[in-house]
Chains A and B, each alone.
Chain A
């Protein structure tokens, strides 16, 4: 069980997160929805140890993540496909993937996960020796997700994977997420694209200007007026 409770983050003088609490139970997909600037990425950055919260607690199976360095958090079992993909453009697809497995030494497990990501995204297998910077936007996103999977995380964080992608690519990406879900992976999915996210998630939270304003099981959330009007446009 992964839990965030009462998280406050300040950016300069701005109170970016004002007491966020959320939980991601094992083997479930939880989504965090919200508009630009609501604090979604800040939440993920706080989880990964890239920003230090002023107050609050973040725990994985009861172990606190607060004050730990990003590499320690990866070793504890959390990895992230960051916003904007951030793949290494000068490194090959293969090298990008191996970097994702940086914290691991189990050669067998690494090659098993390589097979997994190549079966999820066969295009990456075809482009193994290509430099990351030569991939299309959709392929780069696939690489970013795969690279995060290479850490064999117990919790996978995805930051706006659908951002800037054509609908057909979003479908392809979400088909892969669906497979991960069926395998029993634990995922925290941050999205602006509520329709896509709610088609996958078991549970959702809605974030507005640093506060959780609604949460509930996927079906319930879809039916609330807030989500229908603001995020689904119904």
Chain B
């Protein structure tokens, strides 16, 4: 019984992290029809910003966390501005290759940075996350409660933004018809910048929470969580925000359950996840919540 409770919290934690990252993929895809491969590196960078701010600038962890989210979100906006915007009218494949290029670039920046590269770095410790609560024979780490709580609050905030504010309305409009949204008097470039800001901020929060849970930093830290979250976005229905959240939790719980019940096969978990991606792309490319894809004119 105790094991089930612990695994439940583990699944909830991993699921909420995947959900946070998957949002950024799905929002950008919804608007630009671009799989932003640099998104995983954005997530990774947030952890490194924490490392720099806490260990090099000696700032308290919570100040560092706020700054890390802000700087990482700004990076997302900047990437769109310099790498994607000039290619808005170019064929999709150019955009896709550029996204891969940005992804490699960011990973390699970490490798060559004198204070970052080389060996793994520790993620700064956040004390209250490290507590362990015991209830009878159930032992629950504080981090597995805090991560879903913080992530959940962010996801609710996002839903409010998307469905209840003017900017959110424009983001939904732009995803179906960019030109007509411009005719409504909305500055398209600005809305797209906001989209990258929000998606990158959520990935940054995910990156910091990830660090609290798995406190090692290395340059390619973002690749696997990024690809798994991308799978979550596809499973949920790419372009669909609620779908990305649902997909994130399906993958998080699935992964934890698979490893818990079939520990001998735990090495196959990514094989399983990416088989799921292939199966969805083959048989249900619109995901669980998606509608049949309309071609953009």
Contacts and interface: CB of A to CB of B under 8 A. Distances in A.
Contacts of B180: 82, 86, 88
A43 B36 CA distance: 37
Interface residues of B, number: 17
B181 interface: yes
Contact of A89 (B170, B176, B181): B176
B183 interface: yes
Contact of A71 (B166, B173, B182): B182
Contacts of B181: 99
B292 interface: no
Contact of B172 (A71, A79, A86, A91): A91
Contacts of B184: 74, 99-100, 102-103, 147, 151
B185 interface: yes
Nearest to B188: A71
Contacts of A90: 172, 176
Contact of A98 (B169, B176, B188): B169
Contacts of B182: 50, 69-71
A93 to B, nearest CB: 13
A202 interface: no
Nearest to A105: B166
Given A91-B169, A91-B172, A95-B169, A102 B185 contact: yes
Nearest to A49: B182
Contacts, number: 60
Given A86-B177, A88-B172, A98 B185 contact: no
A75 interface: yes
A142 interface: no
Interface residues of A, number: 24
Nearest to A132: B176
A104 B185 CA distance: 9
A131 to B, nearest CB: 11
Given A71-B188, A98-B166, A102-B166, A91 B183 contact: no
B169 A74 contact: no
B177 to A, nearest CB: 6
Contacts of A100: 184
Counting chain B CB atoms within 10 Å of each CB, which of A69, A70, A75, A151 scores highest?
A70
Interface of B: 166, 169-170, 172-173, 176-177, 179-188
Interface of A: 48, 50, 69-71, 74-75, 79-80, 82, 86, 88-91, 95, 98-100, 102-104, 147, 151
29 contacts: A48-B183, A50-B182, A50-B183, A69-B182, A71-B186, A71-B187, A74-B184, A75-B185, A79-B183, A82-B180, A86-B180, A88-B177, A88-B180, A89-B176, A90-B176, A91-B169, A91-B172, A98-B166, A98-B169, A99-B181, A99-B184, A99-B186, A102-B166, A102-B170, A102-B184, A102-B186, A103-B185, A151-B184, A151-B185
Given A71-B187, A151-B185, 5 more contacts: A48-B183, A70-B185, A99-B173, A100-B184, A104-B185
